[in-house]
Amino acid sequence: MCFHTSQTKKTVELENRFKVSLHNKAAAKILDNPAFHLNGFAHPDMLIIPQEEPSVLIAAKWGIVPQNKKLQDLEAYYKEAVKFGGGLNAQSEKLFNHFLYKNVAHSRRCLIPVTGFFEPHEHQGKKYPFYITRKDNQPFALAGIYTLIEGIPTFTILTKVASPLFEKIHNNRKRQPVIIHQDLEQKWLTDNLSENEIIEIIHTPYPEEELNPYTVSKDLFSPKINSNTQDILEKVIYENVTI
């Protein structure tokens, strides 16, 4: 599962990397603040590239919400949704039959630019956070779907069965977010893809040799500590915790 991410690049860097433009330029000053740790259960605003406007970066709320909800309903909905993951992740295996996902699978897919994400690793009954980023420190894209609630996008990150690397990292649930290879990013946002074409993109392996996974501080898991600081991305070595 993927409940924690980071996005530390300035918007202009994302614009250049993904060949898009920020939808609301006035928001750049806020969005340019590096997010070293974004906790999904706080339902933060993140930038996405939506299928309906694939040339723009737009702020969206992490945690997908059914189309029949109103903005005034979001707080209550998220409190109720905690018991099934807060809408933060969506199993790609259910993309075409889940009551919520199937309505947007063909028309409201998105890319979520990140510089990394965190996954828990279990060892001798304890959890240790791994941070996964690219070796070249460049941003990359996770796959998602979204809804519009009174014009405000709410999104979720798609997950799938773990690859060999992520099976070692997320060794309990053995899941991982769907990472879209750069060569397939534009195709992911293309209209009129068949169900088989969408599934094929989801199951296209991301080159693991380009990734850099390493352990970080367990402060990531503490609600009493502000872990949205640069030092949360620093490597921490734990005895006997390896992949």
E-assigned strand segments in 34-95: 35-39, 45-50, 56-62, 89-91
Residue 127 has pLDDT above 90, yes or no: yes
Rounded mean pLDDT, 199-226: 96
Give 234: exposed, middle or buried? Use CB within 10 Å, 0-12, 13-18, 19+.
Answer: exposed
Residue range(s) defining the domain that contains residue 151: 4-233
pLDDT given for residue 177 in this prediction? 98
Give 142: exposed, middle or buried? Use CB within 10 Å, 0-12, 13-18, 19+.
Answer: buried
Residues 44-100 pLDDT 10s? 999 999 999 999 999 999 999 999 999 999 999 999 999 888 999 999 999 999 999
Phi, psi for 109 (deg, rounded to 5): -90, 160
Amino acid code (one letter) for 54: P
Does residue 111 lie within any of the structural domains? yes
pLDDT-based confidence at residue 26 (cuts at 50, 70, 90): confident
Nearest residue to 101 via CA among 142, 140, 67, 150: 67
Does residue 192 lie within any of the structural domains? yes
Residue 1 has pLDDT above 80, yes or no: no
Q: Is the distance from CB of 35 to CB of 4 less than 8 angstroms? A: no
Does residue 222 lie within any of the structural domains? yes
Residues 130-181 pLDDT 10s? 999 999 999 999 999 999 999 999 999 999 999 999 999 999 999 999 999 9
Q: Is the distance from CB of 132 to CB of 212 less than 8 angstroms? A: yes
Does residue 26 lie within any of the structural domains? yes
Residue 29 has pLDDT above 90, yes or no: no
The CATH number of whichever domain residue 164 belongs to comes to: 3.90.1680.10
pLDDT given for residue 73 in this prediction? 94
Does residue 241 lie within any of the structural domains? no
Confidence (pTM)? 0.97
pLDDT given for residue 72 in this prediction? 96
Q: Is the distance from CB of 74 to CB of 65 less than 8 angstroms? A: yes
Does residue 33 lie within any of the structural domains? yes
Q: What is the number of domains present in the chain?
A: 1
pLDDT given for residue 27 in this prediction? 86
